[in-house]
Amino acid sequence: MSRGRRGPSTGGLHAAAHVRAMVWGPAEFTGLPPRWLIGEGLFAGVLGSGLIVGAGVFGTWTGESAFAEGEVGLACALGLVLHLLLVRAGRAMVGIVAVLAVGLALHTPQAAAGVVLTARGQERSVVVTSVRASEEASGARGRYFCSVEGRDGAPSTARIWRGCTRSVRPGDSLALVYDPKGLVPPRGVEGATSIVDALRSLAGWVVGLVVACVTAVVRSFRLLDRPVASGSAHPGGRGATHQGRP
C-alpha cells in the first residue's frame, strides 16, 4: 500500500518540476552556471539595451520620428523577447525582460533629449511671465512650472520646471537651453550637466534589463536526452555544458 501512495506523489513532483521549468526555466546544472552561458546572457542584455537606447538617441539627434518616439526601441525590445523565447527561457523571466525592455524604450526619448541639449544646446536668458505649482500628478507634487518669454518680448510656448522654484517671481530671469535645429523642446538650466548625467535616469532600467537577461538565459539551460559526455559526473560539468541548446 505504501508503494501505491508513492505513485501519485511522484507524479505530482514531476508535474511541479515541469511547471517550474516552464515558468522560471529548467536550470539543469549543478553548482555555478557555465561561463559561456553567463556571457551569452550578458551579450543579449547589453546588446538589447544598447540598441534600445541607441535608437532613441539617434532618432532625437536626427529628427527621425520612428526612432525618436520610441517605435524602433520597442521593436528592439520585441526582438530581445523573441530571442529569449527561441532559447526557451522561462515564461516568467521572458515577461520580466519584456516589462523592463518596454520601460527602457519608453523612458529613452526623454533622456535622449537631454543628451542632444547637452551636446549641441545653446543657452539664452528668458523672462518669467508666470509661475504655477503643479499637483496634477503624484510625481509632480511640489514642482513649479514657469511660463517665459524672450528678452525682446517675443512670446514662447515653453513651460519649464528646471530652475523654476517657489522663490521665482514674474519678471525674474532664467537660463534656457535650446536646440538650434529645433528638434528638441527647450529646458531650463540646472547647473552644469554632461551626457552621462543625461543618461543617468536610464541606469536602473539598463542594469535591471541586463540582470534579467542573464538570469533568463542561464536558467534556460537544459540537457538533451542523450548520455552526458564522459568525464562529467554531474549535469553542470564541462561535458554537459555544450549540450544545453536544443
Q: Is residue 111 part of a domain?
A: yes
Domain with 40, as residue range(s), is 25-118+197-241
pLDDT band at 241 (very low <50, low <70, confident <90, very high): very low
What is the number of domains present in the chain?
Answer: 2
Tens digits of residue pLDDT in 104-137 = 999 999 999 999 999 999 988 899 998 888 765 4
Question: Residue 92 to residues 84, 86, 99, 106: CA-CA distances in angstroms?
Answer: 11, 15, 11, 21
Domain membership of residue 105 (yes or no) is yes
Residue 190 lies in a domain: no
Same domain, 210 and 114: yes
Residue 77 lies in a domain: yes
Same domain, 114 and 126: no
Site of grid cell 547637452 = 118
216 located within any domain: yes
Residue in this structure with the C-alpha cell 538617441, named with its chain if needed: 57
Q: Are residues 94 and 42 in the same domain?
A: yes
Same domain, 230 and 205: yes
Q: Are residues 159 and 135 in the same domain?
A: yes
Give the per-residue pLDDT at 242: 46
Q: Do residues 150 and 166 touch, judged by C-beta distance below 8 A?
A: no
Q: Same structural domain for residues 163 and 207?
A: no
Q: How far does CA 89 lie from the centroid of its chain?
A: 19
pLDDT score, position 136: 53
Q: Which residue has the higher pLDDT, 191 or 140?
A: 191
- Under the banding of pLDDT at 50, 70 and 90, the label for residue 14 is low
Helix pair 91-120, 35-62: axis angle to 10 deg? 40
- Name residues whose C-beta falls within 8 Å of residue 9's C-beta, 6 or more positions apart in sequence: none
CA 205/CA 102 separation, integer angstroms? 10
Q: Examine the domain organization and report whether 169 and 208 are in the same domain.
A: no
pLDDT at 23: 74
Residue 244's pLDDT band, with cuts at 50, 70 and 90, is low
Q: Are residues 49 and 86 in the same domain?
A: yes
The reply to whether 6 falls in a domain is: no
13 belongs to a structural domain: no
Which band of pLDDT confidence, cut at 50, 70 and 90, is reported for residue 245?
low
User: What pTM was computed for the model?
Assistant: 0.77
pLDDT confidence tier of residue 224, bands split at 50, 70 and 90: low
Q: For residues 82 and 93, what is the distance between their CA atoms, to the nearest angstrom?
A: 12
Q: Are 153 and 39 part of one and the same domain? A: no
% pLDDT > 90, the chain: 41
- Over residues 199-226, mean pLDDT: 86
The string of DSSP letters for the chain reads -HHHHHHHHHHHHHHHHHHHHHHH-----SSSPPHHHHHHHHHHHHHHHHHHHHHHHHHHHHT-HHHHTTHHHHHHHHHHHHHHHHTT--HHHHHHHHHHHHHHHHHHHHHHHHHHHHHH-EEEEEEEEEEEEE-SSGGGTTEEEEEEEETTS-EEEEEE-TT--TT--TT-EEEEEE-TTS-S--EE--S---HHHHHGGGHHHHHHHHHHHHHHHHHT----SSPPPTT--STTSHHHHTT---
Q: Would you place residue 223 in the very low, low, confident or very high pLDDT band (cuts 50, 70, 90)?
A: low
Q: Do 97 and 138 have their domain in common?
A: no
17 in any annotated domain: no
Q: What is the mean pLDDT of the chain?
A: 81
- Residues 32, 146, single domain; the answer is no
- pLDDT tens, position by position, 20-38: 667 777 767 777 888 898 9
> How confident is the model over 145-202, as pLDDT tens digits?
888 988 877 877 778 888 888 888 898 888 889 899 989 988 888 766 788 888 999 9
- Model confidence pLDDT, tens digit, residues 63-81: 999 999 999 999 999 999 9
Q: Mark whether 45 and 72 lie in a shared domain.
A: yes
Rounded Cα distance between 12 and 23, Å, is 16
